[in-house]
Structure 1
Amino acid sequence: MTTERLSEYTKFAYWVPNVSGGLVTSTIEQRTSWDYEYNVKLAQIAENSGFEYALSQVRYEASYGAEFQHESTSFSLALLLATQRLKVIAAVHPGLWQPAVLAKFAATADHLSGGRFAVNVVSGWFKDEFTHLGEPWLEHDERYRRSAEFLQVLRKIWTEDDVDFRGDFYRIHDFTLKPKPLNTPARPNPELFQGGNSAAARSNGGKYADWYFSNGKDFEGVIEQLGDIRHHARQANREVNFGLNGFIIARDTEKEAKETLREIIAKANRPAVEGFRSAVQQAGASTSDKQGMWADSTFDDLVQYNDGFRTQLIGTPEQIAERIVAYRRLGVDLILGGFLHFQEEVEYFGKHVLPLVRELEAADNARELLTA
């Protein structure tokens, strides 16, 4: 078990399927839709099933099995207005957004939703989305340097008046945003998420974000990455929460769950997966340590394009609950789940898996009190 602080309980988020093709690049049947009506119902099911967060994806151009996309910030706001408790995280790209403009949008969304809007800063892996729009494609570590400034500017604008920021990418002069977001002691401003895998991503997450999002990882991968991120956070005299991606296949029997996984991979859209693989592994290999996102992902890993199978949340409710709690013991604060048939499976998870997770966590917490 980690020597760092443990969250009282695991939080759960789900990927918003605002992009066509679902969360696996496969021709297997997916009773999931990217349209608004489907996603409103899904969001309502999720918040009534114990999910606290939803993450809206960002794609700007038809690509790799994702032919249609709804824009992330506007879609997130729509879901917020259709729910009561769910927090919705909008993924955004520095370089395609100006941070002060996003800060203004976020403040408005925060007021309209009663303080439930959040931002996931995505430094970018898809070169064409920048170059096809006439924007420069920076080298990997430069993209993360830009994201570091982006995160700092957002925080300053949300919390300070007469903001001045003189960076290499952003220059802000005597800028005051009003109204500011709904700051409270429990949540001083919209939560900021940063994802990645490389040294640059980990540094940003530790120094500037509230949350670090990891691609799918096994136990060993989580231990290595989480230790590094917390090192950066301690150096900056702060803490950061850790979210882990996982594709969840919960079935009544282990055999059924594993057969579903086998079918997903057997029916992979090979040209789309290979195209995605070529694009993202170029990005991962371009880092100085060769450890960027997807740098060592296999073909099977990339059928779920955020390595979700690696987390191994596949089996019976009991098996999945035990593995989630094992991740919590390592220091994971949140599981970001993808599903094959979102509405049905999110509801199944809430009924059959989450109660088991809470029972195991309660037992852990009781043992900790006895040994404290």
Structure 2
Amino acid sequence: MSQAPIKFAYWVPNVSGGLVVSTIEQRTSWDIDYNRKLAQIAEKAGFDYALSQIRFTAGYGADNQHESVTISHALLAATEKLKVIAAILPGPWNPALAAKQLATIDQFTQGRIAINLVSGWFKGEFHAIGEPWLDHDERYRRSEEFIRALKGIWTQDNFTFNGDFYRFRDYTLKPKPLQQPHPEIFQGGSSRAARDMAARVSDWYFTNGNTVEGIKAQVDDLRTKAAANGHAIKVGVNAFIIARDTEEEARAVLQEIIDKANPEAVKAFGHEVKNAGAASPEGEGNWATSSFEDLVQYNDGFKTNLIGTPLQIAERIVALKAVGVDLILSGFLHFQEEVAYFGEHVLPLVRELEAGRRVEKAVA
């Protein structure tokens, strides 16, 4: 288990509809004023990162979206310590544009920008914006070239690269990012191609929500591969957090979310993501074993089971850390008030447990 404190990130709600495909009330807004205030609350609460989402088309209850890099910069301007991870999609972006954008933001914010490279799972979105849709493993080959090109642009002068997807000749970017050796690079996915790519080139690997046992199997596989490549990688796990004063209250909220799910939107989302996974050589992906109830939360966040009292959640977070998790990527129903509650009631218990101190009861 890492001796470093486990880190916390939250999903930026820059997409309308929140993080559950449900008609339950969500006191969460995708507008910029709400998101600026949320970033300030999260920073005060002890969160390390915010992750902006990338969407180009409406669907699955998400009719409106703010562009990820733009809103990331806006949130950085509203905070002092929080690092923001901007989601970027190969195809609409190329490495030269991404490298220049993020280097500039890095300079403006004293090194607080990172990238989440999204290889793409939604074929309809690529078609809608006129981008070619590559086969599953080709998408990850392109993403790996994208990352190798980013690293080269950010760390070298007179950079030359001859790939199948991207080519550079004697290119020097100035100014380079402040972060050394470069801004952190995150990626997701659970297919063999995704994990193998992460084990070669990424700094962080995001996985969908899962049980402790399921996550341990992924972490062990990933770290074994990375070690064989002489590479080190950290792991973040998605979790939808429902922290309440009693377990009964928390479970009632979960049940209401599921009871008020939008069946058509959930089934449509499930169809798309399961098709994407089935296209991989091994025939499965992030959502291969997801039930209807799991799919109500986009990234299987209910599976991680951070649902209950502050102490129950803190104990489960430390159990995740024990199997190699370095970061919890958090979603909430009512973001502003629940992020504040988490910072006040859950995070201090996590730090107590990490320090080996016995916690008799949750913070009052």
Please give the TM-score of this superposition, normalised by the length of structure 1: 0.95
Question: Displacement of 1:291 after TM fit?
Answer: 2.6
Counterpart in 2 of 1:12? 8
For 2:8 and 2:330, the matched residues in 1 are separated by 7
Determine helix, strand or coil for the equivalent of 1:363. coil
Shift of 1:292: 1.3
2:117 matched to 1:121? Answer: yes
How far did residue 205 of structure 1 move?
1.1
- Quick check: 1:219 aligned with 2:212? yes
The question of whether the paired residues in 1 share the 8 Å contact of 2:212 and 2:320 is answered with yes
Question: How far apart are the structure 1 equivalents of 2:288 and 2:134?
Answer: 18
Q: Is the 8 A contact 2:103 2:175 kept in 1?
A: yes
Structure 1 residues 127-276: aligned runs within 5 Å = 127-184=123-180, 188-276=181-269
Deviation of residue 194 (structure 1)? Answer: 0.9
Pairing 1:31–2:27 present: yes
Cα distance in 1, alignment partners of residues 185 and 130 from structure 2: 27
Native 8 Å contact 1:7 1:328 kept in 2: no
Contact 1:198 1:287 in 2 (8 A): yes
1:349 counterpart = 2:342: yes
> Following the alignment from structure 1 to structure 2, what is the Cα–Cα distance between the partners of residues 161 and 138?
31
SS in 1 for 2:143: helix
Q: Distance between the aligned counterparts of 2:277 and 2:124, measured in 1?
A: 16
1:61 maps onto 2:54 in alignment: no
Please tell me whether the aligned partners of residues 32 and 340 of structure 1 are also in contact (alpha carbons under 8 angstroms): yes
Partners in 2 of 1:334 and 1:255 — Cα distance? 27
| Paired residues of 2:274 and 2:284 also in contact (CA < 8 A) | no
Are the equivalent residues in 1 in contact too, given 2:144–2:201 (CA < 8 A)? yes
**1:336 offset after TM fit, Å?**
0.4
Question: Which string of whole-angstrom CA distances, capped at 9 and with x for unpartnered residues, describes residues 183-239 of structure 1?
Answer: 34xxx2100001000000001111111100011011111111111111221122021
- Answering whether residue 21 of structure 2 is matched by residue 21 of structure 1, we say no
Q: Calculate percent identity across the aligned residue pairs.
A: 62
Q: Does 1:85 align with 2:78?
A: no
List structure 1 segments (4+ residues) > 6 angstroms apart after TM superposition.
Answer: none
1:305 is aligned to 298
Distance 2:102 2:215 in 1: 31
- The CA deviation string for residues 143-193 of structure 1, in whole angstroms up to 9 with x for no partner, is 011001011111110000111111111111111100000034xxx210000
Secondary structure class of the residue paired with 2:356: helix
| 1:42 matches 2:42 | no
Given that residues 306 and 313 in structure 2 are in contact (C-alpha distance below 8 angstroms), is that contact kept between their aligned partners in structure 1? yes
Q: Structure 2: where are the runs of 5+ without partners?
A: 359-364
Per the TM alignment, residue 24 of structure 1 is displaced from its structure 2 partner at its CA by 0.4
SS in 2 for 1:76: helix
Give the match for residue 362 of structure 2: none
Stretches of structure 1 lacking an aligned partner (at least 5 in a row): 366-372
- The amino acid that maps onto 1:136 is P
Q: What TM-score results when the alignment is normalised by the length of structure 2?
A: 0.97
For residue 368 of structure 1, what is the aligned residue in structure 2?
none
1:296 aligns with 2:292: no
